[in-house]
Amino acid sequence: MERRKFDWGVVLGLALLGFSRSMGWALNKGFSFPLLSDYTSSAFVKGSILALEGIIGLIVPPLLGYYSDTLRSNHGRRKPFIFAGGVLAAIATLMIWTAYRIGAPLWGFALTLGFLYLSLHLYTAQFRALMPDTIESGQRGKASGVITLLEWAGNLFLFGLGGFMVAKYGKDYIGPFGLTAIFLFLAA
């Protein structure tokens, strides 16, 4: 069997996907709590809303991961989920900002957060499974290192730039949300 060369295009494509997903999760972790704090001071209410992510994360990825393992489509087993999840997550980030900006009630804001969680978890399993599907066995360690590096870079990028934007323009500034939406959409 002939060994294929390390395909940087595939690895960087996966790394961009990881970068954008990490920006989405960083947006959730860095901005959801402060925005929720403007709606309620109840730690129970805030904790319950933020706990939706864990509940969705326990249910959706295993179910859709199993389904994608059995799916046969013209676009492959993983890509339809990644495309749909990425586009929906981009829309969800803008919905969160819009809901906060227009003063949506707490339940409306909570629904937008739930939609972001669902959107990002639509392709959690597929993103993780795509690397072994596309990278040769002996090269997965190097690929995993590059992908993980860019995932961490996505977190740091949004926390750093988003923090700067919020400090300069206020927490209702669209910058971090718009930037995250652009990356999520492009990576999809």
Q: Among 170, 187, 60, 179, which Cα is nearest to 130's?
A: 187
pLDDT higher than threshold 80 for residue 97:
yes
pLDDT higher than threshold 70 for residue 1:
no
Q: Can you tell me the mean pLDDT for 154-182?
A: 90
Rg (CA), the chain: 18
| Residues contacting 179, CB < 8 A, separation 6+ | 23, 158, 161, 162
Q: Can you tell me the mean pLDDT for 56-62?
A: 94
pLDDT grade for 3, boundaries at 50, 70 and 90: low
Placement of tokens 């060369």 in the chain: 5
Mean pLDDT of the chain: 90
CB 154 within 8 A of CB 22: yes
For the beta carbon of residue 164, count every other beta carbon within 10 angstroms: 12
Instruction: Give the architecture-level CATH label for domain 28-131+141-187.
Output: Up-down Bundle (1.20)
Domain coordinates in residue numbering, the chain: 28-131+141-187
> What is the residue-wise DSSP string for 36-76?
HHHH---HHHHHHHHHHHHHHHHHHHHHHHHHHHH---TT-
Q: What is the pLDDT of residues 100-111, one digit of tens each?
A: 999 999 999 999
CB 117 within 8 A of CB 97: no
CB 187 within 8 A of CB 19: yes
Q: Can you tell me the mean pLDDT for 40-47?
A: 95
pLDDT higher than threshold 70 for residue 54:
yes
Q: State residue 75's pLDDT score.
A: 86
Q: Can you tell me the mean pLDDT for 79-107?
A: 95
Rounded to two decimals, the pTM is 0.89
Helix and strand tally (H, E) in the chain? 7, 0
